[in-house]
């Protein structure tokens, strides 16, 4: 499989070099593989740190900056970062307010962030951890006990980041992330597999007329294989799955996320259908993002994340943010 | 080929519905297929109008907004919009300062925009047209006499848009677009084809180990087929092609553009190599964009556009912009 890489072994290091070259607002410690704000956060602000396997760009490094994360720890592709990375990131960005780890619920990430939190406490720095587990597709999956974490991560990083900039304490920022996770549900559909650089071949196989309903961001199996259907039917399936799990009637924020290889033209088509499917259920979309935000390498497909637009959350959503992938209001 | 569409015939109309739903700053006249700023430009400001075939999103509709375009006319996929669309767009956004058409050099677009300019003059509205032809790959191609227009379009829309907001006359804004086009060169490389919704199959074929050097944004043939090579070699080929055509020594702005299906992870890898290849030639990158900006549906690959960072152009680049796809400084 042809890819724009130098060698499978150097993919993450090479991409971090490009990330650092592209964004003067970021600083990359190539040795320890941590991505930091070039300008540290305000003294006493709780520091937000996230991370996970690479291959989901712009998540997480693309969300480092004012109003969102203080640091990100990218692991190898689809592989958890290690506790040392997380510890180094946390130590680098703590300014006395403690550290909030935002962790997508995958077993490797959860264990490693737990270890990092313990190590950090040994260093005398207070750590809090919030697990993100918004994907309604399945309980337990290839890499996960319980529900997987996906699109809610973006909302949690945005909301908790805004709260932290505004002066929230560590506990308050953690509470915002928890509230956000509880207010979000997601569901993804793949039209085909992504290809990992190390394997050099598709992560799974789908027939010509087949799709995967409830796919995970590493290509994990979802609820079932189904026959390919037009965008309006796929949007209905995703929205039904999400709304069956939580009552969203009222105002909502929506992330229509591309998995990597579906053109923006197609994502807008799905978005229009998602809005209609939500309206049929009494849900009015008041904020949205359409594009590739939490990808799965070059997987064609999409996921929908719906977040209840509680006034506090919407206010935090609207707050200024300056990161490579999200930027507004300042 | 599986796609996120309702039906091949309604792709553009359905995507425009999604675009309008997603961006309150845009207004879409679905009947005539024009995308406008929801808030009209200042009275007397020259109005910037662009357009072309769909399938290159976010170009052009994603660049409508303060500091950039006043309107975009999306044609069918890979098909020029029609003169009536362009005329309607121009009439809708003219506020007395005349209309600047920014036209990528493809024969259909050129003819149709020329017709629209004539019709507009008949209505008593002054029209100026600037052709963009920055792609060094080939003279004459499948749809083009002379060089094709590609990444310079983004710079021309940004620079002329900023000049117009600052009070430039129609002639002055046109001169900025011409200066920008003259200061830009581009070169693209495809690892594979894109798939048009109407055909439902890849637009061309490439062997497992083959790539297309100098590919056009509709999958037009480039200079030659070559064997697949790592990112550093591909970056060197693209940069050499661009720098052989124009002396860029000194400061430059760079667009590292994804063609649609190459993950952001890979684009950052290529970007790092492009910076190095430019540095070897005495070119220092002072501004950059890395991501999918002028796509070719789901084509895997990239293009590099280099723009000489003349002080006037860099100042216009840094000016505030508020569009769906470019946003900073306001």
Are residue A139 and residue A150 in the same domain, yes or no? yes
Q: Which of B183, B212, B233 is the last residue of a domain?
A: B183
Domain containing A132 equals 13-183
Could you tell me what percent of chain B has a pLDDT over 70? 100
Q: Do B6 and A302 touch (CB under 8 A)?
A: no
The pLDDT of residue B143 is 83
Query: Using a CB-CB distance cutoff of 8 angstroms, which residues of chain B are in contact with residue A328?
Result: 327
Lowest mean pLDDT among A18-22, A219-223, A253-257: A219-223
Catalytic residue selected from B23, B56, B60, B159:
B56
Are residue B59 and residue B177 in the same domain, yes or no? yes
The pLDDT of residue A141 is 81
Are residue B159 and residue B190 in the same domain, yes or no? no
Of the pLDDT bands very low, low, confident and very high (cuts 50, 70, 90), residue B330 is low
Q: Do A18 and B268 touch (CB under 8 A)?
A: yes
Helices (H), B168-282: 170-183, 231-245, 264-279
Residue A292 in any domain: the answer is yes
The pLDDT of residue A31 is 86
Are residue B196 and residue B128 in the same domain, yes or no? no
Q: What is the mean pLDDT of residues B300-320?
A: 98
Are residue A173 and residue A188 in the same domain, yes or no? no
Are residue B26 and residue B159 in the same domain, yes or no? yes
Longest dimension (CA), chain A: 56
Lowest mean pLDDT among B27-31, B88-92, B279-283: B27-31
The strand ranges marked E within chain A are: 26-29, 34-37, 47-54, 71-77, 99-104, 127-132, 184-190, 210-213, 224-227, 250-258, 283-291, 301-308, 321-322, 327-328
C-alpha span between A273 and A235 (Å, rounded): 6
Cα–Cα–Cα angle for B198, B200, B203, nearest 5°? 90
Question: CA of A250, closest CA in chain B: separation in Å?
Answer: 17
Are residue B125 and residue B259 in the same domain, yes or no? no
pLDDT tens digits, A39-88 = 999 999 999 999 999 999 999 999 999 999 999 999 999 999 999 999 99
pLDDT tens digits, A110-165 = 999 999 999 999 999 999 999 999 999 999 888 888 999 999 999 999 999 999 99
Cα–Cα–Cα angle for A237, A135, A194, nearest 5°? 80
The pLDDT of residue A158 is 98
Are residue A222 and residue A174 in the same domain, yes or no? no
Query: Using a CB-CB distance cutoff of 8 angstroms, which residues of chain A are in contact with residue B265?
Result: 11-12, 15, 54-55, 57, 77, 297
C-alpha span between B242 and B240 (Å, rounded): 5
Q: What is the mean pLDDT of residues B182-210?
A: 94
C-alpha span between A315 and A312 (Å, rounded): 5
C-alpha span between A91 and A330 (Å, rounded): 28
Question: CA of B52, closest CA in chain A: separation in Å?
Answer: 14
pLDDT tens digits, B16-66 = 999 999 999 999 998 889 999 999 999 999 999 999 999 999 999 999 999
Q: What is the mean pLDDT of residues B216-228?
A: 95
Query: Using a CB-CB distance cutoff of 8 angstroms, which residues of chain B are in contact with residue A301?
Result: 4
Are residue A52 and residue A158 in the same domain, yes or no? yes
The pLDDT of residue A330 is 60
pLDDT at position B102 over 80: yes
Q: What is the mean pLDDT of residues B126-154?
A: 94
Q: Which of A141, A156, A183 is the last residue of a domain?
A: A183
Summary mean pLDDT of chain B: 97
Question: CA of A74, closest CA in chain B: separation in Å?
Answer: 11
The pLDDT of residue A93 is 98
Q: Is A218 a catalytic residue?
A: yes
Which of B312, B11, B272 shows the shortest CA–CA distance to A263?
A: B11
Q: Which of A132, A166, A183 is the last residue of a domain?
A: A183
- Out of A2, A22, A262, the one facing B290 most closely (by C-beta) is A22
**What residues have CB less than 8 Å from B126, skipping those under 6 apart?**
B98, B99, B170
Which of B103, B10, B100 shows the shortest CA–CA distance to B51?
A: B103
Question: CA of B310, closest CA in chain A: separation in Å?
Answer: 20
The pLDDT of residue B321 is 97
Lowest mean pLDDT among A17-21, A26-30, A313-317, B114-118: A26-30
- Out of A22, A54, A231, the one facing B288 most closely (by C-beta) is A22
Are residue A143 and residue A45 in the same domain, yes or no? yes
The pLDDT of residue A142 is 80
CATH number for the domain that contains residue B265: 3.30.1180.20
Residue A4 in any domain: the answer is no
pLDDT at position A194 over 80: yes
Residue B4 in any domain: the answer is no
Are residue B192 and residue B177 in the same domain, yes or no? no
Are residue B103 and residue B52 in the same domain, yes or no? yes
Count Cβ atoms within 10 A of the Cβ of residue A108 and give its class: 0-12 exposed, 13-18 middle, 19 or more buried: middle
User: What's the number of CA atoms in the CB half-sphere (13 Å) around residue A319?
Assistant: 22
Residue A125 in any domain: the answer is yes
Q: What is the mean pLDDT of residues A261-275?
A: 98
Query: Using a CB-CB distance cutoff of 8 angstroms, which residues of chain B are in contact with residue A77?
Result: 265
The strand ranges marked E within B78-183 are: 99-104, 127-132
Q: How many domains does chain A have?
A: 2
Q: Do A3 and B55 touch (CB under 8 A)?
A: no
């Amino acid at each position: 499989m042809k890819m724009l890489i130098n060698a499978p072994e150097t993919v993450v290091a090479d991409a971090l070099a490009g990330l650092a070259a592209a964004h003067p607002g970021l600083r990359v410690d190539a040795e320890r593989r941590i991505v930091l704000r070039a300008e540290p956060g305000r003294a006493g602000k709780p520091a937000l740190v996230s991370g996970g396997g690479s291959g989901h760009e712009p998540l997480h490094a693309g969300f480092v900056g004012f109003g969102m994360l203080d640091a990100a720890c990218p692991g190898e592709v689809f592989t958890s970062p290690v506790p040392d990375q997380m510890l180094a990131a946390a130590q680098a960005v703590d300014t006395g307010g403690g550290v909030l780890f935002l962790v997508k619920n995958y077993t490797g990430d959860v264990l490693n962030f737990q270890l990092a939190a313990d190590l950090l406490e040994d260093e005398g720095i207070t750590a809090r951890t919030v697990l993100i587990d918004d994907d309604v597709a399945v309980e337990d999956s290839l890499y996960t006990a319980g529900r997987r974490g996906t699109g809610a991560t973006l909302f949690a990083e945005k909301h908790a980041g805004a709260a932290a900039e505004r002066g929230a304490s560590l506990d308050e920022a953690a509470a915002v992330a928890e509230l956000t996770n509880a207010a979000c549900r997601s569901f993804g559909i793949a039209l085909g597999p992504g290809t990992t650089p190390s394997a050099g071949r598709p992560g799974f196989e789908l027939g010509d007329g087949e799709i995967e309903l409830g796919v995970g961001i590493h290509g994990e199996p979802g609820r079932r294989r189904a026959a390919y259907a037009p965008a309006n039917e796929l949007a209905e399936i995703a929205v039904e799955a999400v709304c069956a799990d939580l009552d969203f009637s009222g105002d909502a924020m929506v992330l229509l996320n591309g998995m990597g290889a579906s053109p923006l033209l197609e994502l807008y088509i799905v978005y229009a259908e998602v809005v209609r499917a939500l309206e049929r259920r009494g849900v009015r979309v008041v904020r949205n993002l359409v594009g590739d935000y939490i990808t799965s390498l070059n997987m064609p497909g999409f996921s929908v994340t719906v977040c209840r637009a509680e006034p506090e959350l919407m206010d935090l959503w609207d707050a200024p943010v300056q990161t490579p992938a999200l930027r507004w209001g300042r």
